[in-house]
Structure 1
Amino acid sequence: MAKIRKILGFLKKHKLSSFIVFLAVVVSAFFVWQNYSDPLPFKAPSLNITQKKETRVRAPLSGVLVDPALAARRSIAVVIENHPDARSQTGFSNASLVYETLAEGGITRTLAIFQENDSEVGPVRSARTQFVYWAKELEAIFAHAGGSKDALALIGTVGVLDFNHNTTDFWRDNSRYAPHNLYSTTEKLRAGGKKAGYSETDDTKPFIFKDDEKLETRPESQSITINFSSFDFKVGYVYDKINNNYKRSVGGKSHTDKLTGKQLTAKNIVVQFANVSEKSGGDTQVQVIGSGKTKYFIDGKSFEGTWKKADSGSRTKYLNSDGKEIELNAGITWIEVVRTGSDISVE
């Protein structure tokens, strides 16, 4: 009892010191409790994830950047007519490359080449020898609806990957009258080619491509007129400085794609001069093996050059005035193959 009184007396005498000691004990106890009760802050593990870069390469015929699988797949070459009753045609805006030339009686016809893009296509019409040669040099599956006697014979001679029309992969559009109403799709044609045993890929030799001209160095305007025969087949191109392409017209009217309703454009235009002969029955043969002159239009500017094709299997080379292959802008190229001496006006 005496000891208790002694302690109480001490605390009474030393109130401040006692309070400080008490406070220190309480604070120490709190921190000890906090360290045991609070979990350690979570630290997310460092994940070293390397993002896979998407690889894109230039498509060999258009130069646009695509998945390597698209750049390696075999092209589809489709004969599409250009009679006034066939316009607007379907699919040109999805093509990589388009050839346009005479087919019969002053009427022009086209061969549209599809590689990286798929599309509905048509109206599909009959083959001519010049189309056979172009399909062969590109090792493309050649889609057509019959053809001239010479063209059909040539298909077997040069070994084209032939795909003549049938009732499975082609259909008639009843909103148009025959023969301007035969259609297909590149998907159907690829599937049909696979069934026929044609390889789905091909190592196509590419054109040479460059970057577009800078906006500040592009000309303000340029217009090109190509006279194939009559007014219905007169082709015009008007340069668009902002988009660095050429807007296309035919027969004095804007040439549109039925798929989009939009005017067709070209990034590059090559005019190829060639000898033309008329066969009995009205078929027109264009001499595309050999050599000749060209005019070509890129970036709103015009150039002169030459073309040459050694044989049925070789690629046509388009050369500049120095004898080097021309450099194209990425995008669709229209190759206009006209009779030697045809009127080409440029303004």
Structure 2
Amino acid sequence: MAGHAARAVGRTAAFAVLGITALLLAGCTTDGPPRPTETPEPTEPTRAVPAAVAAPAPIAFAPIRGTLVEPGAAAHPSLGVKIDNHVDARPQVALNRADVVFEELVEGGITRYLSIWQSDVPDEIGPVRSIRPMDPDIITPFGGLIAYSGGQEQFVDMMMSTPLPNLVFDYDDTGLFYRADERPGPHDVILKAAEAVARYPELPPPPVLGAYGAADPLAAPRFAAQPTSRIDAVFSDARFPSWEWDGANGVWLRSQEGDPDFEASGDRVRATNVVTIRLSIDWSYGEVPRTVLDGGGEAWVSVGGRTAHGAWSKAGRESMLALTADDGSPLPLAPGTTWFELVPLEDGSVAFAP
């Protein structure tokens, strides 16, 4: 009996060991609870990497037109040219490509232009005529070059006394000028404009013409701008230009003595901004009038089919003409071409039609 009991206890113990072993082996299977693992080292949280940001495109603007241009495209001097406005000189060459045009009274009651090209210099410009006593005061602050056909010795000396290189048809032996066979003399002198500018790469661009705004810069109530469909200026009985607002194209269209004014391309002469100023005339040079651009006076800026009243001022020959609104702030221009009508106080007039 004792032997049977001992064997039974042995078998029970063996079964117990086998059961424990089975339980331990079962704990090693994937169906059981996971085994403890070592705690991983902490890591930095994953951060989103932004996509590469493109560098902003470089921009530049034309200093006396205010329009955007490719960088470096306006890194050259301006070219001022004395342009004929006799009836036999019309239509003028490349007048619409000028950045700025000044219309001024000359002898006989007619007018001439001092036109300035910088952002868009054409191959040829003309007809080129002689200099007048107010031209040094107009062109000096722009710097660059001045081209003309000649003039009275005293007026040529005035222009020669400025820092600007003078390109003069009467003295030129380099081929910058020529006479156009299809035009009557003396209204036939043409300047090779692009070649002229290319000869002076060391000269800097002109300073900024004025304060530029948006396409409709006079919309703010503080300018008290009035709707304008037409501008009528009178220089004399012989010259009375006008401008009509073309809202569809956003430009002023020019007429002279009641007839539409065209340039040689066949396009109507046009401007984005028309600046009309009243000033005195100095008659100390006999029959040749000198427009007095010292001091200041009344001014109007017409742009976007509106006209705002203000004042003009010019501190001296080297100073750019400044425009101020009636509230004392700068009178802004829209980017584009600008015509200055220098209307005499005596015997001249200006009117703005709504």
Q: Same fold (TM over 0.5)?
A: yes
Paired residue secondary structure (2:333): strand
Residue equivalent to 1:147: 151
1:52 and 1:255 map into 2 onto residues whose CA distance is 46
CA distance 1:180–1:49, shift in 2 (3 Å): farther
What's the counterpart of residue 251 of structure 2? 245
The 3-state SS of whatever aligns with 1:68 is: coil
Instruction: State the partner residue of 2:30.
Output: none
1:235-286: CA deviation from partner (whole Å, max 9, x where unpaired): 010001122211111122111110x201011111111111112345521211
Paired with 2:55 and 2:107, the residues of 1 have a C-alpha distance of: 53
Note the aligned Cα RMSD (angstroms): 2.4
Alpha carbons 1:247, 1:263 under 8 Å: kept:
yes
CA distance in 1, matches of 2:241, 2:98: 18
Paired position in structure 2 for 1:163: 167
TM-superposed CA distance for 1:153, in Å, is: 1.9
Residue 146 of structure 1 aligns with an amino acid whose one-letter code is G
- Aligned positions of 1:299-310 closer than 5 A: 299-310=304-315
Partner-residue secondary structure (3-state), 2:146:
strand
Q: What is aligned with 2:134?
A: 130
Structure 2 counterpart of 1:227: 234
1:326 Cα deviation from its structure 2 partner: 1.3
Report the Cα distance in structure 1 between the residues aligned to 2:95 and 2:52, rounded to whole angstroms: 43
Tell me the secondary structure at the aligned position of residue 70 of structure 1.
coil
Aligned residue-pair number: 293
Alignment CA distance shift 1:219-1:228 (3 Å):
closer
Residue 345 of structure 1: how far off its partner (Å): 1.7
How far the C-alpha of 1:226 sits from its partner, in A, is 0.7
Change in Cα spacing, 1:281 to 1:180, as seen in structure 2 (3 Å) is farther
Distance 1:203 1:182 in 2: 26
The structure in which a higher percent of residues are helix is 1
Aligned partner of residue 190 in structure 1, secondary structure: helix
For 1:54 and 1:190, locate their aligned partners in 2 and report how far apart those are by CA, in whole Å. 28
Instruction: Please name the residue that 1:102 is paired with.
Output: 105
User: What are the equivalent positions in structure 2 for 1:278-289 lying under 5 Å apart?
Assistant: 278-280=283-285, 282-289=287-294
Residue in structure 2 matching 1:172, options 172, 179, 182: 179
2:194 to 187, 191, 202: 187
Q: TM-score normalized by structure 1?
A: 0.78
Query: What is the percentage of aligned positions where both structures have the same residue?
Result: 26
Can you give the 5+ residue segments of structure 2 that lack an aligned partner in the other structure?
Answer: 1-50
Question: Aligned equivalents of 1:192 and 1:58: distance in 2?
Answer: 23
Q: 2:328 aligns with which of 309, 316, 323?
A: 323
Q: Which runs of 5+ in 1 are unaligned?
A: 1-47
Counterpart-to-counterpart distance in 2, 1:69 and 1:230: 45
Task: Work out the CA distance in 1 between the residues paired with 2:330 and 2:321.
Answer: 10
Change (3 A) 1:154 1:114: same
* Distance in 2 of aligned mates of 1:173 and 1:51: 51
Secondary structure of the equivalent of 1:294? strand
- CA displacement at 1:325 relative to structure 2: 2.0
CA distance in 2, matches of 1:203, 1:251: 33
Q: Assess if the C-alpha contact under 8 Å between 2:244 and 2:254 holds in 1.
A: yes
1:294 corresponds to which residue? 299
> Is the contact between residue 81 and residue 109 of structure 1 (CA under 8 Å) also seen in structure 2?
yes
SS at 2:81 equivalent: strand
> Which residue of 1 is the match for residue 343 of structure 2?
338
Q: CA deviation at 1:131?
A: 1.6
Larger radius of gyration: 2
Q: CA deviation at 1:54?
A: 4.6
The 1-side partners of 2:232 and 2:154 are apart by 31
CA contact (8 A) 2:243 2:252 kept: yes
- 2:269 maps to 1:264: yes
Aligned-partner Cα distance in 1 for 2:158–2:329: 31
